[in-house]
Amino acid sequence: MKRTTLTLAASLLATTALAEGQELTVASWGGSYQDAQSKALFEPYEAATGNTIKQETYGGMSDVRLQVSSGQVTLDVVASGSGSAARAGAEGLLEPLDYDVIDVSNFPDAFYSEYCVGGDVFSVVPAFNTDKYGEDGPKGWADFWDTEKFPGSRAYRGTVSGALEPAMMALGVAPEDVYAELSSEEGIERALDKIRELKPNIAVFWSSGAQHAQLMKDGEVDMTTGWNGRFDNAAADGAKVSYFYDQGLLDYDCFAIPKGAPNKDLAMQFIAEISKAEYQDDLPKYITYGPTNSDAYDTGEISEEVAATLPSSPANMDMQLPISLEWYAEWEQIAAEMYQEMLTE
Amino acid sequence: MAAADMNAAGLRRDERAERWRLFGLSSPALLLVLVILVIPVGWLFYVSFIGADGNFSLENYERMVARKSYSRIFVTTFQVSILTTGLCILIGYPLAYFMSQLPVKWANLCLITVLLPFWTSLLVRTYAWLVLLQKQGLVNQWAISLGLWDEPLKFVHNMTGTLIGMVHIMLPFLILPVYGAMRAIDGDYLKAASNLGASPRRAFWTVFFPLSTPGLFAGSLMVFVLCLGFFVTPAVLGGGRVIMVSMKIVSNIELFVNWGAASALGVVLLLMTAVILWIASRFLKLEQMTGGGH
């Protein structure tokens, strides 16, 4: 008798689970990044809604392009860089996001766009070797260019994204005017000339975050541009590296929905849910990227000390320049070709 | 007369039948080549003429002429490939010669050490060079502590590092065919030369070296062509300052939404390689390079 009740209860539970629990396929980049997303966002989402998240890793928007063009879309949500999401959106690979469902009223304007809503914020900063320069290293891009005040070798990005804005600021252009100045071939050439000036001191043009972190860890260069989170990880690993947020370039990773996703509506609700402050305020516990939802700083989960280290905290936001996706959509191809010319000279 | 004609006709018929049978036997291989080589390369050509708007366009080629960086990247690619091949010959030929003079047992041991790196991942070997050669790397540390030089030398993140890494990886491709050709040389030829009064040096240059050239050409050609498409080693050891065509292909795939921009680069590289092979075949006997025909 007892056994029958148990079986009955179990099967009842199973049917309700089937009725309520839906499955959603989410792809991200794997590694410590996806682990952090999983702990801070995906698992709490499962607990709160009873839905199941099937996690996958993927190779970026080229995978989405393949799925969409072959009509075999299996991914409901993808994590992406803001720039590649904007390009993919323009190419018609993504569903436009419904901001009636996703509440972005507490997001700074710079952290969401038509096809992609920000999940975390990082910053391109000048990082320096603390053995060489002490704690009082370069602040801002004029210092990065100043080889008399800060002698030593540099590393710089090998592709154009996030590479011209620092040169413009080093020229003395105010952050808010940078993109206006860069919106002509002459302006781009001006920035490139500034990089040409520094080029004899640039030992390496880096191509990945792992690389610029390793360059600092090995002492191969004394200073580099790069993503703040990587330097924090390197420093935690014993590297003599530090940075300031002054004039950093704010950028964000985001969530997007591939065109023709099998569970589009659920995907929209999923993104709405994990964009809430009570999810985002957990992210900094697992990785030093900041939340995109400003309210996440007010829930009490993020202490003031932690907030001071995050790129999107109110105090740090003010001294940085958010990346302009519009500028990249219009100028990236031209600027990239011109950048390559500077590199191959 | 008539009988001879009939006979000749019969022979021709047999020959035709034989040819068809041979064709039948090789058709699976031909089909494979068609499917995995001819069709994709044809597709590559086609795609390279498709512009960003999806229509026929020369824009992918025009871009290569308009932007100076493309010609510079091709120059770098050929420069790196020629230098790597030259260095591989300088290092590999004497080594192969040395091995060919050893008793087979010892020579086999040497061969294994030459082949050993083949069993290690290319990426691992490339990063190993980075660890060894960088500013705070083992080579600089030891040399400085031994007083060989005072300031760390720049071995990596430049052309030097790229060449060191590529020569190391390409060397077996040169040594193996050269060694094979050398082993096949009949020692009696050299004895005959000495017997006729040739000095060892003369015997080497007039008898041994010419006989080893098929292997040398085969090896050099293989190294050169492999170098043209190399990606990992120059990307890691070149420090972003040595940009080869393969790297530009990757960046064009990421940068442009259509495949054409990258395909056009592949087409130009393919054509240039074909031209070089054609020129080489004018001066050298191509069938010798591939090991056939003596």
Computed from CA positions of residues B262, B266, B272, B273, in that sequence, does the dihedral angle turn out positive or negative?
positive
Phi and psi (nearest 5°) for A323?
-60, 135
> Looking at beta carbons, which residues of chain A come within 8 Å of B69?
337, 340-341, 343-344
For residue A235, the enclosing domain spans: 122-250+322-344
Task: Single out the residue of A161, A160, A166 nearest to residue A197, CA to CA.
Answer: A166
Pick A218's closest partner by Cβ from B134, B251, B255.
B134
Same domain, A195 and A237: yes
Same domain, A136 and A235: yes
Contact B243 A344 (CB under 8 A): yes
Predicted pLDDT at A106: 93
Mutate to test the interface with B, among A153, A216, A340 (most CBs of B within 10 A): A340
Pick A341's closest partner by Cβ from B69, B76, B235.
B69
Distance (Å) from the alpha carbon of A152 to chain B's nearest alpha carbon: 13
Distance (Å, whole) CA A279 – CA A309 = 19
Pick A204's closest partner by Cβ from B73, B240, B257.
B240
Please give the angle made by the CA atoms of A323, A328 and A332, to the nearest 5 degrees. 135
Q: What is the pLDDT along chain A (345 residues), one digit of tens a residue?
A: 444 554 545 544 444 444 468 999 999 988 778 998 999 999 999 999 999 999 999 888 888 988 998 899 999 999 999 988 988 898 899 999 999 999 999 999 989 999 999 999 999 999 999 999 999 899 999 999 999 999 999 999 999 999 999 999 999 999 999 999 999 999 999 999 999 999 999 999 998 888 999 999 999 999 999 999 889 989 998 999 999 999 999 999 999 999 999 999 999 999 999 999 999 999 998 888 999 999 999 999 999 999 999 999 999 999 999 999 889 988 998 999 999 999 999
Distance (Å) from the alpha carbon of A258 to chain B's nearest alpha carbon: 16
User: Given CB atoms, is B40 within the 8 Å cutoff of chain A?
Assistant: no
In a domain, B267, yes or no: yes
In a domain, B28, yes or no: yes
In a domain, B121, yes or no: yes
User: Given CB atoms, is B68 within the 8 Å cutoff of chain A?
Assistant: yes
In a domain, B181, yes or no: yes
Same domain, B27 and B79: no
User: Given CB atoms, is A205 within the 8 Å cutoff of chain B?
Assistant: yes
Contact A333 B255 (CB under 8 A): yes
Same domain, A143 and A167: yes
Same domain, B28 and B120: no
Same domain, B105 and B244: yes
User: Given CB atoms, is A306 within the 8 Å cutoff of chain B?
Assistant: no
Intra-chain end-to-end CA distance of chain B, in Å? 39
Same domain, A243 and A330: yes
Task: Name the domain count of chain B.
Answer: 2
In a domain, B61, yes or no: no
Distance (Å) from the alpha carbon of B248 to chain A's nearest alpha carbon: 9
Same domain, A176 and A287: no
Predicted pLDDT at B2: 64
Same domain, B39 and B87: no
Contact B72 A332 (CB under 8 A): no
Q: What distances in angstroms separate CA A81 from CA A43, A111, A118, A153, one per listed residue? A: 22, 11, 9, 29
Phi and psi (nearest 5°) for B159?
-65, -40
Q: Output the average pLDDT for chain B.
A: 89
Same domain, B119 and B7: no
Pick A219's closest partner by Cβ from B135, B154, B251.
B135
Distance (Å) from the alpha carbon of A283 to chain B's nearest alpha carbon: 29
Altogether, the residues listed in chain B come to a count of 294
> Looking at beta carbons, which residues of chain B come within 8 Å of A226?
none
Same domain, A295 and A187: no
Predicted pLDDT at A18: 45
Distance (Å, whole) CA A191 – CA A103 = 38
Residue ranges of A 156-185 with Cβ closer than 8 A to chain B: 158-159
In a domain, B272, yes or no: yes
DSSP assignment string, B152-174: PP--SSSHHHHHHHHHHHHHHHH
Same domain, A99 and A127: no
Same domain, B23 and B112: no
Same domain, A149 and A286: no
DSSP assignment string, B94-134: HHHHHHHHS-HHHHHHHHHHHHGGGGS-HHHHHHHHHHHHS
Task: Name the domain count of chain A.
Answer: 2
Same domain, B21 and B84: no
Same domain, B266 and B209: yes
For residue A172, the 8-state DSSP code is T
> Looking at beta carbons, which residues of chain A come within 8 Å of B256?
333
Same domain, A259 and A235: no
Contact A340 B67 (CB under 8 A): yes
Distance (Å) from the alpha carbon of A107 to chain B's nearest alpha carbon: 29
Contact B255 A332 (CB under 8 A): yes
Phi and psi (nearest 5°) for A39?
-75, -40
Same domain, A203 and A157: yes
Contacts of B150 (CB under 8 A, 6+ apart): B144
Same domain, B208 and B129: yes
Predicted pLDDT at B292: 46
Predicted pLDDT at A15: 45
Contact B69 A206 (CB under 8 A): no
Q: Searching chain B, which residue's CA lies closest to the CA of residue A222?
A: B135
Same domain, A13 and A107: yes
Contact A205 B239 (CB under 8 A): yes
Distance (Å) from the alpha carbon of A90 to chain B's nearest alpha carbon: 10
Same domain, B126 and B14: no
Mutate to test the interface with A, among B245, B255, B259, B265 (most CBs of A within 10 A): B255
Same domain, B96 and B218: yes
CATH code of the domain containing A207: 3.40.190.10
Contact A25, A74 (CB under 8 A): yes
In a domain, B232, yes or no: yes
Contact B68 A341 (CB under 8 A): yes
Predicted pLDDT at B11: 87
In a domain, B252, yes or no: yes
> Looking at beta carbons, which residues of chain A come within 8 Å of B239?
203-205
Same domain, B4 and B118: no
> Looking at beta carbons, which residues of chain B come within 8 Å of A225?
none
For residue B10, the enclosing domain spans: 1-48
Same domain, A166 and A26: no
> Looking at beta carbons, which residues of chain A come within 8 Å of B238?
none
Task: Single out the residue of A27, A32, A41, A40 nearest to residue A79, CA to CA.
Answer: A27
Contact A230, A209 (CB under 8 A): yes
Contact A128, A153 (CB under 8 A): no
